Amino acid sequence: MKKTMHAMVGVVLSFFVVGAVSAGDVASLRGASDLTTKAVKTKKAKLEKVSGGFERTWAEQPPMVPHEVDKYRISIKNNGCLKCHGAKTYEKEKSPKVGDSHFLTRDDKRLEKVSSRRWFCTQCHAPQMSLTPLVSNTFETVGRSK
C-alpha cells in the first residue's frame, strides 16, 4: 500500500513539472503565444476564382472547385451543385457535367441519377483560397492538364 502511495505522489508531481514548461518553449504554427491568449487574427482569405478551372495533377484527381461553394446546399434530398452540373442542367447552365464515373454504383451499374457514392460533392471537390502555405513544400505536378 505504501509503495502505491509513493508511486501516486510521483505521478502527481510529474504533472506539475510538465505543466511548468511555458508555451513559449513550444514551437508551433500558431506562434509563441500562450494557449490562453487569443491568436492573432489572420487576414480573411480570398477564394480563388479561376476561369477555365485548375490544372489537374493526375487523371483520377477530383478537379478542384474554381468558384464559391458556400451558397450551395447539399442535403439528402437536394443538391445545389447539380442545379448546374447535373446531366439535365449542365447544357443550359453552361457548366461542366459531372464525371461519367459519378453515375456508377459500386458494382459498375450505370444509373440515371448521380450515384449516392458521389452525392456529397465537397467530400472530394475542394475550393481553394489564395494563401501562403503554413509549411512550404517542393511538390511539383507531373503536369497533366485536362
* Chain residues in the site for ligand HEC (CB under 6 A): 51-53, 60, 62-63, 65-67, 69, 72, 79-85, 93-96, 98-99, 101-102, 114, 118-125, 146
Least distance to ligand HEC, CB of residue 45, Å: 18
Considering the complex, state which of residue 23 and residue 74 has its C-beta at the smaller distance from ligand HEC: 74
Considering the complex, state which of residue 30 and residue 117 has its C-beta at the smaller distance from ligand HEC: 117
Considering all CA atoms of the chain, what is the largest pairwise distance in Å, rounded to the nearest integer? 81
Least distance to ligand HEC, CB of residue 123, Å: 5
d(CA 78, CA 81): 9
Which single residue brings its beta carbon nearest to ligand HEC?
99
Considering the complex, state which of residue 23 and residue 84 has its C-beta at the smaller distance from ligand HEC: 84
Name every residue whose Cβ is closer than 8 Å to that of residue 45 and which is 6 or more positions away in sequence: 129, 130, 131
Least distance to ligand HEC, CB of residue 77, Å: 13
Name every residue whose Cβ is closer than 8 Å to that of residue 44 and which is 6 or more positions away in sequence: none
What is the residue-wise DSSP string for 18-72?
A: HHTS-GGGS--TT-S--TTSPPPPPPPPEEP--TT-PPPSSTTPPPPB-S--TT-
Within a 10 A sphere around the Cβ of 67, how many other Cβ atoms? Answer: 15
Considering the complex, state which of residue 48 and residue 119 has its C-beta at the smaller distance from ligand HEC: 119
Least distance to ligand HEC, CB of residue 127, Å: 8
